[in-house]
A and B are shown apart, each in its own frame.
Chain A
Amino acid sequence: MEGEIVLGALAPHPPHLVYAENPPENEPNAECGWEGLRWGYHRLAKKLSTIDYDAIVIFSPHWQTYIGTHFLGLPHFESLSVDPVFPNLFRYSYSIDVDVDLAEAMATEASDAGMVTRMMQNPDFRIDYGTIVSCHMVNPNWSKPIVTISSQRSTHYYSAEVMGEQMHELGQACKRAIKASGKKVVLLSSNSLSHRHFVTESDVPEDMSKEHIYNHSQYLWDMRMIELMREGRTREMVQLMPEFTEQSIAETDAGGLSWLMSALDYPDYGADVHAYGTVIGTGNAIVEWDPRERATLQVSP
């Protein structure tokens, strides 16, 4: 049977969200915080629990590689993840299974298409916190294996345009590999939208009286991008990506959202926005694309 992408989602990874959830895996404790985003994640997690799937493939900006795209390449990782920026909020003990076959298939497909790829096979490697936060929020019991794809730094080395082209190719390669694998796969792009942020932290990190968007212009940009997602105009959104990335210092610089759109063949059906909220001033949206919507769209007059 042919494999398929059963769901795609924009799934941002501020560690604050896991911190505020108080799961047993995370050491620090919070009183509350960022409920809008967390409840949005709960809705997405609930939706995911109703879907039959084999693995999650996640693109993470916090595994940064300068020499091509890397894929997790060992079946199991277990350790403690401490966020280098917010160690006060995120010290998470993880135990993660990896779908190595799927990872290898995607890496091979991508390198056959001319991209630089590498499998990560060092057992001491620590999984980045972006992967852990997004995966925890969509599937807190870690019931499915994952694959992390690293963010190669083309935006920084070359330009957002070059990154866009490469992510188009990578998305297509992943899609082909998933089809050939016969598996049902969920794709996550782990990133915020606008990413200008405050450079100091309040004494109580979860003090919501301090939480708001960093500036109005980045809010306008976020809304513009989200509106295009909601209206199924994702090709336009991807065309705007370099400008958006530049002007709102967006975390789309990592390439994940462009990769996701390409893998989903640029959805022309509306996305479901589960939440939008800010974390230390950055704009974060939890957005779901359900490819079954395309089928619905095609039968309607």
Chain B
Amino acid sequence: MSDDSPIVMGIWGPPHPHPLLAPEKNEGWGKLRAAYDQLRERIEESDADVIIVYSTTWPSVIGHQVQCRENPEWTHVDDDFHALGSMPYSFKVDVDLANGIVEAGEKRGLHMRGVDYHGFPIDTGSIVALSLLNPDNKLPMTILSSNMYANRAETIVLGKATTDVLKAQGKKAVAVVVASLSNRMFTKHIEPEDDRIHSQKDDEWNRKILEFFAKGRLEDISQLSRDIHSQIRVQKVVAFKPAWWLASAMGQHNRYDGDVLAYEALHGSGGAVISLTPTKGSVGDKEFDEDDVEYYRGDRNVIDSDSTLEVSETASANSEVSDSSHTVPEGGIIETSAAPKAVGAYPHARRVGELLYLSGVGPRQAGTDEIPGGAIRTPDGIPQEYDIKAQTEACIANVKAILEASGASLSDVIDITSFLVDMERDFAGYNEVYAKHFTSVQATRTTLAITALPTPIAVEMKVIAKIG
């Protein structure tokens, strides 16, 4: 959560071509146009050097794409709204910045592709936003695609890659998200004067989101992204992921001046023009629920993002309380200084009746937090070599310490769930060490691959034992 974001203004604007091509046909479309015009002036007054667009109407499936062509030119026509007219464009791209984002994304573990082709189809949303916000190419720009399968981790990392480059190149930017709020459109033709938000529920949700925007609570919107998507988005169209990108690029906090300049219907969808500028005041930081991600290492779980095991909620165990009482009261909470400190509000173990449930335990050393076998990445996200066998040994030693503090031992274990961040690389080593300790125990076991753990470790175990 950094304060020194090189992004001087964030903008959220709708992708539909109506404000560009037919602002006079409907009062609301005209208001959205006026709002876009107002932001054009603000951009001109700002000290921004470049514009970066993240567009939901540019879906990609092979990684994220970045517009790298110096002067893309074409006359575009929308697939649906072709009767509204054509959209000729001639843009100026900051090629250094664009190539830099490709490289920075790759360094952070993303699959990236620069696009430098005559006639490459720039999407409707990008064309609308850029034509209105930057009509004379006063600022150079680039455009980022929205990967269809990218989940939160990947999108957050893309936002960070964006800022990496701005900082390295000493540039200040306006970050533009092109996306609807509610995105359900009417599926029949309507007359311009009949346009309205598709449903009352969509309208109410849109207004709630706009309250957050008006208070500058961008990180809160980012953290609510999945809820917003499930409530007011056509599920299989485009996830509400640009909030992740914008919040990540702008520094992951809530300290902005938010300005909702317009909110109107666009063929039923919710279109809003919003600006966010960093400020000292506003709601400020609260405790955020979701983990921060620096480096993308997991595979995209294609299509069904809902079922992705994105982040393990369990974490390595805890405590300050010194305890070696071997008699645990029933339902009692067990904490021990013999195991590493928790990274959240949970005990090392808890007894219910005859069963002892342990929180997820990793290899960190009690007291020092040192990771035997080495951390899997540096604090700024650079992957490191590590020894999975040493980590697994340490992990099992921590399990043992907690069991013993509870009056049980490894031989009482009945069920284990193990989490590995890299199944392919680590399974064999982990399995070998595991066998050494557990062959005679014959506990049931499940091993899962997940994309990340809260600390830079490669293995974690969740254990249930019998006691008493």
Contacts and interface: CB of A to CB of B under 8 A. Distances in A.
B120 A87 contact: yes
Contacts of B61: 85, 197, 199
B234 A200 contact: no
A68 B63 CA distance: 30
B297 interface: no
Interface in B299-331: 299-300, 302-303
Nearest to B75: A124
Contacts, number: 96
Q: Which of A82, A91, A153, A199 has the most CB of B within 10 A?
A: A199
A157 B188 contact: no
Nearest to B188: A116
Interface stretch (B28-36, B76-84, B134-142, B448-456): B76-84
Contact of A84 (B63, B121, B302): B121
Interface size class of A (residues with CB under 8 A): 35 or more
Q: Which of A84, A85, A125 has the most CB of B within 10 A?
A: A84
A260 B80 CA distance: 23
Contact of B186 (A67, A70, A86, A122): A67
Interface in A108-165: 116, 118, 120-122, 124-126, 150, 152-157
B117 A91 contact: yes
Contact of B189 (A64, A116, A121): A116
A171 to B, nearest CB: 19
A30 interface: no
A82 B111 CA distance: 21
Contacts of B117: 82, 87, 91
Nearest to B115: A87
B121 A196 contact: no
B63 A199 contact: yes
A68 B189 CA distance: 8
Chain B interface mostly: loop
Given A64-B79, A67-B187, A150-B79, A196 B234 contact: no
B187 A157 contact: yes
Contacts of B118: 80, 82, 91
Nearest to B82: A122
A275 interface: no
A198 B76 CA distance: 30
A66 interface: yes
Given A80-B119, A87-B120, A91-B119, A116 B303 contact: no
B46 interface: no
Interface string B334-348: 000000000000000
A65 interface: yes
Interface in B207-240: 234-237
Interface residues of B, number: 37
B185 interface: yes
A63 interface: yes
A67 B120 contact: no
A196 B236 contact: no
A118 B83 contact: yes
Contacts of B119: 79-82, 91
Given A87-B115, A126-B121, A196-B302, A156 B82 contact: no
A243 interface: no
B149 A67 contact: no
Interface string B100-125: 00000000000100010111110000
A152 B76 CA distance: 20
Interface in A267-293: none
A207 interface: no
B234 A157 contact: yes
Nearest to B299: A199
B409 interface: no
Nearest to B189: A67
A228 interface: no
A122 B80 CA distance: 11
B77 A66 contact: no
B152 interface: no
Contacts of A155: 236
A156 B303 contact: no
B253 interface: no
25 contacts: A65-B79, A66-B80, A67-B185, A67-B188, A67-B267, A68-B187, A70-B82, A80-B119, A82-B118, A85-B62, A86-B62, A87-B117, A116-B189, A122-B83, A122-B85, A124-B76, A124-B86, A125-B77, A126-B77, A152-B187, A157-B187, A196-B303, A199-B111, A200-B63, A249-B303
Interface of A: 63-68, 70, 79-82, 84-87, 91, 116, 118, 120-122, 124-126, 150, 152-157, 196-197, 199-201, 249
